[in-house]
Amino acid sequence: MAKPGLLVVLLAAMLLMGCTHSEESSIAPLAPAAGRVDPGLGPGTRALSSGPGYKGSPSWNPDGTRIAFTMDGYVVDVPTTSGESRRWTTKDFVATDTEWTSDGILAILGATSPTRRGADNSLYRANAGEGSLALERIARGVLAMSPIPGEHGLVFARAKGPHGSKLAGSRDGGTSYRNYADNPIEGHVSALSLSPDGEEVVMSLRPPGDPRTSELRTFDLRQREGRNIARLEGDREILGTPQWTRHGIYFVAGKQSTRLDDDSSEPLFELYCVPADGGAPEPAPGVGEDFVASSIRVSPDDDRLAVIGRLNPKSPINLYVLDPAAKKLEAITANEDMEIKTDPDDLAWSPDGENVAIIARGTPSTEPEVRTEPADRLLRDFYNLYEIPVSEASAR
Amino acid sequence: MRGVAIWFSGAALAFFLTAGAFLLLANIATIPAEKSLAPEPPAAASQPIVGLELNADQLASLKLEPDQSLDLTVRNEGNTPLSDVNVTLSVSSENTALSVSRHYRQTVAKIPAKGTADIPFGFDLSVPEQRVTGRPASEPARGILEIKATTPDGISTMKTVILPP
C-alpha cells in the first residue's frame, strides 16, 4: 500500500500547485484622459473638445458615450471620455443642426456648397458604420427637425411654397418619410420640438406676411390636427426652439433690435411660458423680472429647463436650471470671464439628465496671444464644448 | 470488503488524475504574469534645453496677408553646443473648414552653449477667398502660427501664436 500512498501525496501536491495562482502585479488604473478642468465656468466642468473651430449645435448620442456638433459648418463627433474625433461631412458642407436618431445614425440639416447660410437646407442621414462621408438625403427644403426619442425617427417641417409648411416624419432611421397631413400649415416653421409624451409637436412659425417668428402652434401627430396657441404682439419674435415641459410650453422672445447698451429698461429677450392648451404668454415664473434669456432646452425627464441667460442685462451669462414646478432658478455655472455662446441650439442635456453641454471661450484679445501648447490642445482661446454637471439639488 | 476498498481507491485515483490533469493544463495556459505599465519618464519633454523667443513688436505688426516676416530667436539653455536644430513654422486658420495650412522650415547648424541663434522667417499669412462656411460673418477667423524648435535628440519646444483678424 506504499505506492498508492505515494500517489495520493503526489496528487495532493499537484492539486496544491494547481490551486496556487502565480503572483499578479496590479495595474494602476488609467488616469481619466479628459479630467475635470476649471476654465472659468466653475468647479466640475469638463472639456469635451479642444482647439480651433467655430462649434455649435451639440447633441449627445442616446447612450451618452459620444457628442456630435457642428464645427465651422461640418459635422464631427467625439467620445465623451477620451479619444479621437470623427468627421461626418465634408468641409464644403454647411450644417445648421445635427441630432442623433440612434447611437450610430445622425440626422443632419444643412446644404452642400450653399450660396448663403441656411438657404435651401436638406435633411440628411449619416451612418457611422459606413466609414465614408456619404450622406443620404431624406428630404429637400427642410426648415426644422426634432428627433423622436426611442423610435429612431424624426419629425420635420418642409417648406411648401413661400408661405406654407408641411410636417413629415421618418421612422427606424430610414430615408423614407410621410406627411402627417395633406393640407399645409400656414406660415414657415422656424423650429419645432416634441411634447413629453411624444404625441404632439410645438412649432414656432413665421406667419404669411409677417417677417417675424411670432406664432406658436401645436400639432397632434395622431389626430393630425394643429392649433394656434399663442401669437406675439408688439414687434416681439420667438428665438430658438420652444420647449414643452410637463408644466407648460416655454420659449424665448423679445425685440430683435434691442441692444444691451440701450437705455431701455426692457431686457433683450425674456423667457415666457404658455399653457399647452393655449393662452396668453406670461413671463416664466421663478426667473426674476430682469432675467435675460438666450437659449433653453428641456431635460430628458421633461421636468427641468436648462437656460442660458443672465440675471440682468449687466450680469455675466451663465447656465441656469429652472424647475418649473417649484418656480426655482438655480445657477449651474459660476462664470468669471468666459464668453458662453448664446445661439439657440448651443446647449444639450446628456441622456441621463446629469450634465449639460455648453459652448464657451475666453474673451479674445485684440493683440497677438502666445501659448506654449499646440493649437489643437488649447481650450480657452477658442469656442469649445464643456460638460457641466447639474447639481443634485436641481435633479428631481 | 477489500473489493469495495479497491473499487473506491480506483475511483478516487481516477478522479484525482483527471482533476490534476485539468489543473496542470490550466496552469500551462495561464497568461504570463502582468507587469505594471509604468509611464514613460517625461524628463526630456519637461526640461527642454532649447527655448524660443518671439519679438512682440513684430508679432503685433503681422497681418493676415502675404509676405509677412518674423525673426525668431532659438536659445540653447544647455551647457553643450547644439547642432542641426530644426525650426518649423506652420500657418493655419481658426476656421477649420478652410484648407489654409502652410509649413516653413529652417535648420540651425550650430548654437553655442547658453547662446542664441536668430532665424528670420518669411511666410504667407493670407486667407483664401472666403467661401461660405458655418462661421458667421461676425466671427472672422484668426490666424494661427505654430512654431517649433527640435534638436536631433527629439527635444523640442513650441509656441503657438493666435493672431487677431
User: Dihedral sign, CA of A233, A236, A240, A242?
Assistant: negative
Q: Say yes or no: B159 contacts chain A, CB-CB below 8 A.
A: yes
Lowest mean pLDDT among A96-100, A230-234, A377-381, B6-10: B6-10
Q: Say yes or no: B165 contacts chain A, CB-CB below 8 A.
A: no
Q: Say yes or no: B124 contacts chain A, CB-CB below 8 A.
A: no
Task: Output the pLDDT for position A276.
Answer: 93
- Where does the pLDDT of residue A21 fall: very low under 50, low under 70, confident under 90, or very high at 90 and above? very low
Separation of alpha carbons A347 and A358, rounded Å: 5
- Where does the pLDDT of residue A7 fall: very low under 50, low under 70, confident under 90, or very high at 90 and above? low
Of residues A309, A296, A285, the one with CA closest to residue A193: A296
pLDDT at B163 over 80: yes
- Where does the pLDDT of residue A327 fall: very low under 50, low under 70, confident under 90, or very high at 90 and above? very high
Interchain proximity B9–A52, CB inside 8 Å: no
Lowest mean pLDDT among A105-109, A255-259, A312-316, B93-97: A255-259
Task: Output the pLDDT for position A172.
Answer: 77
Complete edge-to-edge strand list for the sheet that includes strand A105-112: A93-102, A105-112, A122-127, A136-139
> Model-level pTM?
0.81
Interchain proximity B23–A14, CB inside 8 Å: yes
Neighbouring C-beta atoms of residue A225, cutoff 10 Å? 12
Q: Position A39: which residue type?
A: P
Task: Output the pLDDT for position A134.
Answer: 79
Q: Which residues of A touch B72 (CB under 8 A)?
A: none
A11 neighbors B23 (Cβ within 8 angstroms):
no
* Burial state string for B87-100 with b = 16 or more CB within 10 A and e = fewer than 16: bbbbbbbbbbbbeb
Lowest mean pLDDT among A155-159, A297-301, A336-340, B16-20: B16-20
Separation of alpha carbons B140 and B66, rounded Å: 18
Separation of alpha carbons A235 and A257, rounded Å: 9
Q: Which of B24, B141, B160 sits opposite A371 (nearest CB)?
A: B160
Of residues A319, A280, A244, the one with CA closest to residue A42: A319
- Where does the pLDDT of residue A130 fall: very low under 50, low under 70, confident under 90, or very high at 90 and above? low
Cα B59 to its chain centre, rounded Å, is 25
- Where does the pLDDT of residue A83 fall: very low under 50, low under 70, confident under 90, or very high at 90 and above? confident
Separation of alpha carbons B88 and B107, rounded Å: 9
- Where does the pLDDT of residue B18 fall: very low under 50, low under 70, confident under 90, or very high at 90 and above? confident
Task: Output the pLDDT for position A304.
Answer: 96
Interchain proximity B160–A370, CB inside 8 Å: yes
Task: Output the pLDDT for position B40.
Answer: 55
Phi-psi sector, A235: left (phi>0), alpha (psi -120 to 50), beta: left
Interchain proximity A72–B134, CB inside 8 Å: yes
Task: Output the pLDDT for position A30.
Answer: 35
Mean pLDDT of A86-100: 89
Q: Which of B34, B95, B158 sits opposite A72 (nearest CB)?
A: B95
A37 neighbors A17 (Cβ within 8 angstroms):
no
Interchain proximity B17–A11, CB inside 8 Å: yes
Lowest mean pLDDT among A38-47, A241-250, A375-384, B91-100: A38-47
Separation of alpha carbons A94 and A347, rounded Å: 19
Task: Output the pLDDT for position A76.
Answer: 94
State the alpha helices, DSSP H only, in chain B.
2-28, 43-46, 56-61
Task: Output the pLDDT for position A67.
Answer: 96
Q: Which one is predicted more confidently, A173 or A99?
A: A99
A115: closest chain B residue by CA: B132
Task: Output the pLDDT for position A393.
Answer: 46
Q: Which one is predicted more confidently, A267 or A372?
A: A372
- Where does the pLDDT of residue A118 fall: very low under 50, low under 70, confident under 90, or very high at 90 and above? very low
Question: A363 vs A46, A331, A346, A381, CA distance in Å?
Answer: 19, 21, 18, 8
pLDDT at A286 over 70: yes
Mean pLDDT of B97-121: 92
Lowest mean pLDDT among A33-47, A121-135, A152-166, B74-88: A33-47
Lowest mean pLDDT among A91-95, A178-182, B2-6, B146-150: B2-6
Q: Which of A15, A366, A381 sits opposite B23 (nearest CB)?
A: A15
Name the CA dihedral angle for A318, A322, A326, A328, rounded to a multiple of 10 degrees. Answer: 10
Condensed to tens digits (0 to 9), the pLDDT of residues B37-69 reads 555 554 444 455 899 999 999 999 999 999 999
- Cell numbers 451618452 correspond to what residue? A64
Condensed to tens digits (0 to 9), the pLDDT of residues A196-231 reads 999 999 999 999 988 888 999 999 999 999 999 999
Candidates B18, B89, B160, partner chain A, best to mutate (most A CBs within 10 A) = B160
A178 neighbors A157 (Cβ within 8 angstroms):
no
- Nearest C-alpha of chain A: how many angstroms from B122? 18
**What are the cell numbers at B49?**
534645453
Condensed to tens digits (0 to 9), the pLDDT of residues B121-149 reads 999 999 877 666 788 888 889 999 999 99
Rg, C-alpha atoms of chain A: 26
Q: Which one is predicted more confidently, B68 or A392?
A: B68
Separation of alpha carbons A122 and A111, rounded Å: 6
Of residues A317, A339, A335, A337, the one with CA closest to residue A383: A339
Q: Which of B9, B30, B146 sits opposite A375 (nearest CB)?
A: B146
Separation of alpha carbons B127 and B137, rounded Å: 15
Q: Which one is predicted more confidently, A258 or B11?
A: B11
Candidates A370, A373, A376, A382, partner chain B, best to mutate (most B CBs within 10 A) = A370
pLDDT at A246 over 60: yes
**What are the cell numbers at A179?**
406627411
Interchain proximity A369–B144, CB inside 8 Å: no
A382 neighbors A49 (Cβ within 8 angstroms):
no
Separation of alpha carbons A228 and A217, rounded Å: 4
**What are the cell numbers at A311?**
440675471
- Nearest C-alpha of chain A: how many angstroms from B109? 24
Of residues A278, A349, A286, A364, the one with CA closest to residue A319: A349
Q: Which residues of A touch B94 (CB under 8 A)?
A: 52-54, 382
Q: Which residues of B touch A339 (CB under 8 A)?
A: none
Separation of alpha carbons A54 and A72, rounded Å: 5
Q: Say yes or no: B49 contacts chain A, CB-CB below 8 A.
A: no
Condensed to tens digits (0 to 9), the pLDDT of residues A329-350 reads 999 999 878 999 999 999 999 9
Global ipTM: 0.80
Lowest mean pLDDT among A293-297, A346-350, B24-28: B24-28
- Nearest C-alpha of chain A: how many angstroms from B59? 6
**What are the cell numbers at A69?**
456638433
pLDDT at A19 over 70: no
Lowest mean pLDDT among A188-197, A358-367, B36-45: B36-45
Candidates B40, B59, B162, partner chain A, best to mutate (most A CBs within 10 A) = B162
